């Protein structure tokens, strides 16, 4: 028998994973260290240098009010990524417990929580976010909150279905027979077994959140000037798409790049977690691979 | 750690199944008995597996050399198989009658009406009555025992030369098991076909088999007539295995156990694979592969021990 | 005789059928028996006879519909989860599938430690106890650092026994504890259960569908059919002098032990009826070869005393 090449037996660092990870590290790293890297103040106006083409002074050129696009990209990335994290964070904090409780207890609680989720899902996601922002005022925080709420149902439903699978396994019954409390069974016995799948979903969600935040900003509902994020940059510069295409294409490209990289990375994680071992690569296993442990 | 190198699920097996006999392959989980059975039909994904050797049907056609088309034609017509879990074997969306009917449509040229009559006759034969009504039922409407009988009917529809039954009664209750075994034996007699029965249950073997092959770590360690193996086992593994089965009238006694665990299939085996667990092990066993010895006309085993000094009546 | 450890009195467990109001699956229907201290009781029956549900009722993992359950003289029928906490450590359970009965995320050591800590043992006590138990079940201490996926079924089932013993229980429920294991491993586990019973003076209920296994390990045996007890008695009485036609049929269906065994295969026809529609009269009348029309299908037979501890529920038995 040959070793099956289509199934990855536990090699995590495959070419796509390495490349996507590198892209993610470069983007996230440069965004974090924007203060050090950025050559200009992202919001400084320079009317003498409006709509300049790329040069050694302005690597990616300038926009209609002479702001350096490269610098704006770096600082904009901060807003974009942080708000995406915020969105996903809100959905995790509420969605995961809702899913766990709903799946574990079932019955009326389950019906109630899931109907609420259904109501949220039945509206187009962005439309709901628009309504929310329109009602509570335009601000970045409101945009994040709005999208966060929109993201809750999907995560809650995923967690619930994982719970439904796990709670019928023997180890849960064993936990009951030992007399563990429900809280302990939910959060210490079952939840750790759902983490790997939820984690995969989260990395995907971050990609979507970046896109959705860009869409919100593009429509003027997200960040407010002069702060920028990638979506807002797209919006500002779309008028010059024909004359100075780079101004709008660059932020668009970065969004695509980070979403694609996240997706590929997630695929890699999934391929590693799913077929052979469901457990996350624990530190020991990783060490064993590197040959550091005795075991 | 990745699984490296080759996994030898089945190592160098020579087995012949004669016309009209029931051969039982017994062994514990992971010993390669199901692998052997599936290999006969080449049911494994050949992108992941490699075969070596030959599997001859009727003493001439090598199954391992067949083309995809020949293989498809052979399956179900010459050799068919029934599995452990009848509930997942059958398609839940088709009536049981239709599923048996398909066997005829695939492998024979008989007309629809004729085929239908045959299906009804077959259902009647396996005790799924009234056949007329059952014909139109879906798998979920039948119990596990009944479904296994439907599977047997399906497998025997084209009067195959060989029927492979992979743990056919393991998922069933004792009363159902008795029914299914009885049916299997009756039909085998009636059609004079050969049956290869894979099981971990010595009781099932005692019940219907003519010959037994005992497998351990991908090898056949002992084979022979069913009575020979039961009353005069020669290989220490067979002896230990038989002794470890709880028997009637031995309430509360200590059962014989086998210490340790079977070797992993990706391990290289030097000497006898059973040596680490064997009570009669000698130095030679650890370094040299044991020879195949005869203990009577039909009785062969793989061990250094002579048949005489190991021949004692157990059971 | 001293007071039994467990007393089951007219226990019933009905599950409501979804969608149809007022219809119930009578998984356990009016079961009465006692488990004396230090004895092993076997419960046998085909799948769907309610033996596992019975076990779950004993462990109070599910609510009891009607009847009462006594543990150590206490009526625990309506104990809440909180009240159960006090006696949980005295009753432990072993499951069928060793691979899934441990949390796949935790190392075995953590799983065992959690249990010990849950029952209020100090860390040192627990460590010592676990160490001893692992030795007792014949495994290397290394297994404590492993996860369930790295161990074999036999090893895991032994560890499951160790986990049950960590609490220092009086009663162990083994639900098909050896059914998923190979014969050689099964023998190890059976030997171990018998040894441990003697050593710790444990009381056990052993649920299984395998007759020889039950006969091997049990002192008393209860045969269940469609949620009810059809026959009970000492292991010897029941297997050598079965009175109920169902018990006889079960024994007859048992495969031969050697090829030349004289076994009279009186094959049962048909399947167990659904627990939703239990036949009128004797539950077994639809499959019984000796069914008396007009009597068996109308009158419910009560358990009749035969001799000693031997009882059977059949109209054919004259008292």
Do A1 and B4 count as a contact with CB atoms less than 8 A apart? Answer: no
Give how far Cα A41 sits from Cα of A61, A200, A289, C17, Å: 14, 36, 46, 70
pLDDT at B286: 87
Residues C235, B251: contact at Cβ < 8 Å?
Answer: yes
Q: How far apart are CA A278 and CA B3, in angstroms?
A: 16
Q: What is the DSSP letter of B164?
A: E
Q: Which of C236, C265, C272 sits opposite B178 (nearest CB)?
A: C265
Interface of B with A (CB under 8 A): 1-9, 47-50
Do A3 and B1 count as a contact with CB atoms less than 8 A apart? Answer: no
Taking only the tens place, the pLDDT of each residue in B24-62 is 999 888 788 888 888 888 887 777 777 778 888 887 788
Residues of chain A where predicted confidence (pLDDT) is lower than 70: 1-11, 273-295
C95 touches chain A (CB under 8 A): yes
- C-alpha distance from B298 to closest chain A C-alpha (Å): 32
pLDDT at C128: 94
pLDDT at B261: 79
pLDDT at B32: 83
CA B165 to chain centre: 5
- List the domain boundaries for chain C: 6-90+169-312, 105-166
The H or E element containing residue C307 is strand C304-307
C260 touches chain B (CB under 8 A): yes
C53 touches chain A (CB under 8 A): no
pLDDT at B6: 52
Q: Give chain C's mean pLDDT.
A: 89
Specify the CATH number for A71-290; select among 3.30.300.30, 1.10.3720.10, 1.20.1290.10, 1.10.10.60.
1.10.3720.10
Do C92 and A177 count as a contact with CB atoms less than 8 A apart? Answer: yes
From first to last of its 315 residues, chain B has per-residue pLDDT tens of 223 345 566 777 788 888 889 999 998 887 888 888 888 888 877 777 777 788 888 877 888 888 888 888 888 888 999 988 888 888 889 999 999 998 888 888 888 889 999 999 999 888 887 888 889 999 988 888 889 989 999 998 888 889 999 998 888 888 888 888 988 998 999 888 899 999 988 889 988 999 999 999 888 899 999 998 988 899 999 998 888 888 887 777 888 888 877 887 667 778 888 888 888 888 888 888 888 888 888 888 988 888 754 444 443
pLDDT at C126: 93
Residue identified by tokens 């692998």 is B35
pLDDT at B266: 67
Q: How far apart are CA C151 and CA C157, in angstroms?
A: 10
Could you write out the DSSP letters of every residue in B17-60? --TT-EEEEE--TTSSHHHHHHHHTT-S-TTT----S--EETTT
Count of pairs with CB atoms under 8 A, one residue in A, one in B: 26
- Secondary structure of residue B227 in the 3-state scheme: helix
Supply C94's token pair. Answer: 């072993």
Q: What is the DSSP letter of B86?
A: H
- C-alpha distance from B284 to closest chain A C-alpha (Å): 30
Q: How far apart are CA A235 and CA A219, in angstroms?
A: 7
Among chain C residues, the shortest Cα distance to B144 is held by C271
Do A179 and C118 count as a contact with CB atoms less than 8 A apart? Answer: yes
Do B257 and C268 count as a contact with CB atoms less than 8 A apart? Answer: no
Residues C171, C202: contact at Cβ < 8 Å?
Answer: yes
Taking only the tens place, the pLDDT of each residue in C170-212 is 999 999 998 888 888 899 999 999 999 999 999 999 999 888 8
Could you write out the DSSP letters of every residue in chain A? -PPPSSS--S----HHHHHHHHHHHHHHHHHHTHHHH-SS-TT---GGGTTPPP-SSSTT-B-TT--BHHHHHHHHHHHHHHHHHHHHHHHHHHHHHHHHHHHHH-HHHHHHHHHHHHHHHHS-HHHHHHHHHHHH-S-HHHHHHHHHHHHHHHHHHHHHHHHHHHTTSHHHHHHHHHT--HHHIIIIIIHHHHHHHHHHHHHHHHHHHHHHHHHHHHTTSS--TTS--HHHHHHHHGGGTTTSHHHHHHHHHHHHHHHHHHHHHHHHHHHHHTTT--S---HHHHHHHHT----
**Whether residue A174 has a cis bond before it, omega within 30° of 0:** no
pLDDT at C299: 87
- List the domain boundaries for chain B: 22-310
Residues B232, B313: contact at Cβ < 8 Å?
Answer: yes
- C-alpha distance from B306 to closest chain C C-alpha (Å): 24
Mean pLDDT of C252-261: 83
B176 touches chain C (CB under 8 A): yes
C118 touches chain A (CB under 8 A): yes
Sign of the C-alpha dihedral computed for residues A57, A63, A66 and A68 taken in this order: negative
Which residues from C are below 8 Å from B258, CB to CB? 184, 187
Supply A275's token pair. Answer: 């077929």
Supply C49's token pair. Answer: 């006879």
Q: What is the DSSP letter of C37?
A: T
- List the domain boundaries for chain A: 71-290
Do C100 and A169 count as a contact with CB atoms less than 8 A apart? Answer: yes
Q: How far apart are CA B240 and CA B276, in angstroms?
A: 14
Q: Give me the helices (H) in C119-182, please.
A: 123-136, 153-166
CATH architecture, domain B22-310: 3-Layer(aba) Sandwich (3.40)
The CATH fold assigned to C6-90+169-312 is Rossmann fold (3.40.50)
pLDDT at B223: 92
Give the 3-state DSSP-derived string for A178-231, with helices as H, strands as E and coil as C. HCCCHHHHHHHHHHHHHHHHHHHHHHHHHHHHHHHHHHHHHCCCCCCCCCCCHH
Q: How many helices (H) and strands (E) does chain B have?
A: 13, 10
Q: How far apart are CA A268 and CA A8, in angstroms?
A: 10
Q: How far apart are CA C180 and CA C97, in angstroms?
A: 6
- C-alpha distance from C189 to closest chain A C-alpha (Å): 19
Among chain A residues, the shortest Cα distance to B50 is held by A1
When scoring C103, C145, C149 by the number of chain A Cβ atoms within 10 A, the one with the most, hence best to mutate, is C103
Q: How far apart are CA B198 and CA B293, in angstroms?
A: 24
pLDDT at B10: 74
């Amino acid at each position: 028998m040959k070793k099956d090449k289509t199934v990855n037996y536990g090699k995590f660092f495959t070419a796509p994973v390495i490349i996507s990870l590198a892209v993610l590290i470069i983007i996230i790293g440069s965004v974090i260290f924007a203060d050090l890297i950025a050559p200009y103040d992202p919001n400084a106006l320079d009317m003498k240098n409006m709509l300049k083409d790329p040069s050694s002074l302005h690597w990616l050129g300038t926009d209609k009010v002479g702001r350096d696009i490269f610098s704006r990209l770096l600082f904009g990335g901060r807003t974009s990524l942080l708000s995406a994290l915020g969105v996903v964070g809100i959905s995790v904090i509420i969605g995961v417990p809702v899913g766990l409780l709903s799946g574990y207890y079932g019955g009326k609680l389950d019906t109630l929580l899931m109907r609420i989720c259904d109501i949220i899902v039945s509206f187009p996601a962005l439309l709901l976010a628009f309504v929310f922002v329109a009602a509570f005022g335009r601000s970045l925080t409101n945009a994040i909150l709005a999208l966060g709420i929109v993201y809750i149902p999907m995560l809650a439903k995923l967690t619930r279905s994982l719970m439904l699978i796990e709670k019928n396994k023997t180890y849960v019954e064993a936990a009951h027979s030992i007399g563990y409390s429900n809280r302990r069974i939910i959060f210490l016995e079952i939840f750790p077994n759902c983490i790997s799948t939820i984690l995969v979903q989260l990395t995907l969600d971050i990609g979507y959140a970046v896109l959705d935040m860009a869409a919100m900003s593009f429509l003027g509902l997200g960040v407010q000037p002069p702060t920028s994020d990638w979506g807002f940059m797209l919006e500002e510069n779309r008028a010059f798409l024909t004359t100075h295409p780079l101004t709008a294409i660059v932020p668009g490209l970065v969004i695509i790049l980070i979403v694609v990289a996240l997706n590929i990375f997630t695929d890699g994680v999934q391929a590693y977690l799913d077929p052979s071992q469901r457990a996350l690569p624990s530190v020991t296993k990783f060490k064993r691979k590197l040959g550091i442990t005795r075991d | 750690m990745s699984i490296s190198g080759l996994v030898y699920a089945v190592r160098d097996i020579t087995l012949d199944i004669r016309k009209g006999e029931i051969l039982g392959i017994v062994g514990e989980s992971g010993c390669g008995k199901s692998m052997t059975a599936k290999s006969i039909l080449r049911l494994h994904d050949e992108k992941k597996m490699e075969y070596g050797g030959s599997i001859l049907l009727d003493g001439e056609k090598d199954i391992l050399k067949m083309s995809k088309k020949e293989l498809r034609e052979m399956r179900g017509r010459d050799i068919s198989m029934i599995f452990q879990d009848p509930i997942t074997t059958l398609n839940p969306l088709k009536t049981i009658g239709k599923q048996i009917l398909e066997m005829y449509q695939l492998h024979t040229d008989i007309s629809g009406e004729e085929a239908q009559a045959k299906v009804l006759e077959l259902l009647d034969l396996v005790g799924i009555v009234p056949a007329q009504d059952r014909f139109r039922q879906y798998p979920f409407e039948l119990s596990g025992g009944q479904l296994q009988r439907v599977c047997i009917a399906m497998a025997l529809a084209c009067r195959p030369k060989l029927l492979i039954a992979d743990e056919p009664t393991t998922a069933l209750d004792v009363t159902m098991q008795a029914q299914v075994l009885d049916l299997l034996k009756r039909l085998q007699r009636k059609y004079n076909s050969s049956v290869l029965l894979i099981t971990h249950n010595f009781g099932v073997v005692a019940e219907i088999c003519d010959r037994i092959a005992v497998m351990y770590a991908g090898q056949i360690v002992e084979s022979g007539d069913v009575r020979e193996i039961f009353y005069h086992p020669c290989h220490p593994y067979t002896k230990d295995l038989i002794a470890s089965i709880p028997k009637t009238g031995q309430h509360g006694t200590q059962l014989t156990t086998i210490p340790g665990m079977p070797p992993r299939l990706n391990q290289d085996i030097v000497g006898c694979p059973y040596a680490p667990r064997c009570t009669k092990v000698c130095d030679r066993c650890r370094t040299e592969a044991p020879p195949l010895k005869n203990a009577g006309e039909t009785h062969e085993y793989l061990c250094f021990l002579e048949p005489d000094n190991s021949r004692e009546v157990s059971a | 005789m001293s007071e039994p450890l467990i007393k089951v009195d007219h226990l019933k467990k009905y599950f409501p059928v979804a969608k149809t109001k007022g219809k119930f699956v009578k998984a356990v229907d009016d079961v009465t028996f006692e488990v004396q201290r230090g004895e092993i009781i076997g419960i046998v029956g085909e799948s769907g006879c309610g033996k596992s549900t019975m076990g779950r009722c004993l462990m109070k993992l599910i609510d009891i519909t009607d009847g009462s359950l006594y543990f150590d003289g206490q009526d625990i029928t309506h104990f809440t989860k909180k009240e159960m906490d006090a006696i949980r450590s005295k009753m432990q359970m072993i499951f069928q599938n060793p691979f899934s009965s441990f949390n796949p995320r935790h190392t075995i050591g953590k799983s065992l430690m959690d249990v010990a800590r849950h029952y209020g043992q100090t860390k040192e006590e627990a460590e010592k106890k676990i160490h001893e138990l692992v030795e007792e079940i014949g495994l290397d201490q290394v297994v404590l650092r492993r996860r369930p996926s790295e161990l074999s079924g036999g090893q895991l089932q032994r560890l499951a026994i160790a986990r049950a013993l960590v609490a220092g229980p009086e009663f162990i429920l083994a639900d098909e504890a050896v059914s998923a294991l190979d014969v050689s491993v099964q023998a190890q586990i059976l030997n171990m259960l018998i040894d441990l019973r003697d050593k710790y003076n444990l009381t056990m209920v052993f649920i299984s569908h395998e007759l020889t296994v039950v006969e091997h390990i049990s002192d008393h045996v209860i045969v269940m059919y469609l949620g009810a007890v059809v026959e009970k008695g000492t292991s010897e009485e029941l297997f050598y002098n079965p009175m109920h036609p169902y018990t006889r049929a079960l024994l007859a269906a048992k495969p031969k032990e050697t090829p030349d065994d004289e076994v009279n295969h009186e094959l049962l026809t048909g399947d167990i009826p659904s627990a939703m529609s239990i036949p009128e009269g004797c539950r077994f009348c639809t499959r019984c070869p000796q069914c008396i029309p007009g009597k068996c299908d109308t009158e419910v037979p009560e358990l009749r005393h035969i001799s000693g501890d031997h009882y059977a529920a059949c109209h054919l038995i004259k008292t």
